[in-house]
Amino acid sequence: MTTSTELAPPAPAPLLGIGRAARECAVSERALRYYQQLGLITPSGRTPGGLRRYSEEDLGRVRRIRELQTLLGLNLDEIRVVLDNDDRLAKVRQEYRSTRTGAARRRELLEECLAIHQATAATIDAKLAGLKRFRAEVDGSLERVRGLLAELDSRAGLVSR
Amino acid sequence: MTTSTELAPPAPAPLLGIGRAARECAVSERALRYYQQLGLITPSGRTPGGLRRYSEEDLGRVRRIRELQTLLGLNLDEIRVVLDNDDRLAKVRQEYRSTRTGAARRRELLEECLAIHQATAATIDAKLAGLKRFRAEVDGSLERVRGLLAELDSRAGLVSR
DNA sequence: TCGGACTCTGACGTCAACGTCAGAGTATTG
DNA sequence: CAATACTCTGACGTTGACGTCAGAGTCCGA
């Protein structure tokens, strides 16, 4: 007789307890519960006894939250919007893939994706522009200083000759 | 007899009250007092009665604070460090310009500037790298969607023919 | 089946970055 | 020189994003 693992499709998807999950995402257990409280994530399972079990996808979502916090400086309210967009995109993808979705509807769905992604891109570009300006300023200073140093070098060369 | 304004060097530098200053920088009066309390800024003047007077340079400093908050996501403690660097750079520039500063000392000063600017650049580049990665992801999605849309268009063209 | 490790749900605490308000003083304008 | 607008210094309040702790329950390997 074959074992059940031989019959299982690809992998059994090992759900993690909150402790492992937290370490994996470099956040606290409290943070995970807090995010859940705000409706940002929901562990994809619970044990019969009520312990949270996180899937790899859940972890991705958590990592996403942290990125949005640290990179874009969004607060959890704004992040909720982004995650809602993510969910919407997933649903759209699903419907798009369905064989009984006609071309017209598909176009609609694609347009929606386009709009969402463009909005995201705009948000990022705004931050990016500010940062680049910032960086350019520093680079200017850097070049000026380098120029002066080079000048000093050449002058020293002349004098020592 | 000539008026005093005719004798004044270039401009009388119109110091602003805290209300104007706050509006000008798009922050609250409370924030200005708070920043001062933390030692981040000091209004360059006070009226005889004790009212704060802000110079244009002061405003620049405040705007800098806001930029560092919103663009780099620094907290006020970290911002203090940056502002200290700014002050140090100003002092260095001053000494550099002095006629009684020798070439060797000038090189030292320039090296110091270089180090400071490079550190700043590194900080910015870190954030920038993250953001660019982020942006690239979105751009990837965007391209995929555009590709699918184009495909849909061409197919529609064929069918209608 | 039992002991140690892990997790649960409240509930209160904390910290940064201000918001707000009172009561008193200051500047300005007609 | 009075009315009006602004500003001062405390001091307490608020908000977001968790930290921390207690008391109880759950899981798992020996």
pLDDT tens-place string over residues A69-104:
999 999 999 999 999 999 999 999 999 999 999 999
Say how far apart CA B90 and CA B112 lie, in whole Å: 12
> What's the per-residue H, E or C state across chain A?
CCCHHHHCCCCCCCCECHHHHHHHHCCCHHHHHHHHHCCCCCCCEECCCCCEEECHHHHHHHHHHHHHHHCCCCCHHHHHHHHHHHHHHHHHHHHHHCCCCCHHHHHHHHHHHHHHHHHHHHHHHHHHHHHHHHHHHHHHHHHHHHHHHHHHHHHHHHHHC
Is A149 in contact with B114 (Cβ distance < 8 A)? yes
Average pLDDT over residues A9-16: 73
pLDDT recorded at residue A1: 44
B154 touches chain A (CB under 8 A): no
A18-66 pLDDT tens trace: 999 999 999 999 999 999 999 999 999 999 999 999 999 999 999 999 9
Greater confidence, A156 or A116?
Answer: A116
Question: What local confidence, expressed as pLDDT, does residue B13 receive?
Answer: 73
Which amino acid is it at B159? Answer: V
What residues of A are in contact with residue B125 (Cβ under 8 Å)?
135
Complex ipTM more than 0.90, yes or no: no
C-beta within 7 A of nucleic chain D, residues 61-100 of A:
69, 75-77
Write the pLDDT tens digit of every residue in B83-140: 999 999 999 999 999 999 999 999 999 999 999 999 999 999 999 999 999 999 999 9
Backbone angles phi, psi at B131, to 5 degrees: -60, -40
A13-74 is classed CATH 1.10.1660.10: yes
Which residues of chain A does B106 touch, with a Cβ-Cβ cutoff of 8 Å? Answer: 152
Per-residue confidence (pLDDT) for residue B158, from 0 to 100: 66
CATH code assigned to B11-97: 1.10.1660.10
- Please, are residues B127 and A71 in contact by the beta-carbon 8 Å criterion? yes
Give the angle subtended at the CA of A127 by the CAs of A124 and A131, to the nearest 5°. 135
Strand partners, A46: A52
- Residue B149 CA distance to nucleotide D5 C1' (Å): 61
Sketch the domain layout of chain A as residue ranges. 13-74, 98-161
Question: Does A148 sit within 8 Å of B110, measured CB to CB?
Answer: yes
Taking only residues 114 to 153 of chain A, the set having a beta carbon closer than 8 angstroms to any beta carbon of chain B reads 114, 117-118, 120-121, 124-125, 127-128, 130-132, 134-135, 138-139, 141-142, 145-146, 148-149, 152
Percent of chain A with pLDDT over 90: 85
Q: Residue holding tokens 């982004």?
A: A82
